[in-house]
Amino acid sequence: MRTGVPLQLTQRIQYLAYDPGVRPREGGLPGLEVLKKVMGSINLFGIVAVVGALAISALVWAWGHHSGGHQAEQNGKKGVTVAAGCALLLGAANGIVAFFSSMGTQVH
């Protein structure tokens, strides 16, 4: 009586394993070069903003240290750490995406 249940499960698994054949392809849509330039400009804007955030955080850290403001000192340290992490991620964005994209192509 329950022979239909495993068959439905098997069909669902086969459906999930179906390869639709979609692959990233350069030149498929117009405007790809413009989009790349826009993303590069946004990345550069982010890096410039991080430089400002890092400088301000370092100033707050120094001011807090020399004035005895422990709260300001801790916030400055936190800001420097966050800015450094953002700079790392912005600089490594292409590599991170390329790494996970290539890992994704290996999933079967």
Contacts (Cβ under 8 Å, ≥6 apart) of 74: 64
pLDDT for the residue numbered 19: 64
Confidence of residue 57 (pLDDT cuts 50, 70, 90): very high
pLDDT 10s digits, 10-49: 776 666 666 667 777 777 778 888 999 999 999 999 999 9
**In terms of Cα–Cα distance, which of 99, 103, 94, 105 is closest to 24?**
105
| Predicted TM-score of the model (pTM) | 0.69
Task: Supply 78's token pair.
Answer: 């936190």
SS3 86: helix
Phi, psi of 92 (to 5 degrees): -100, 10
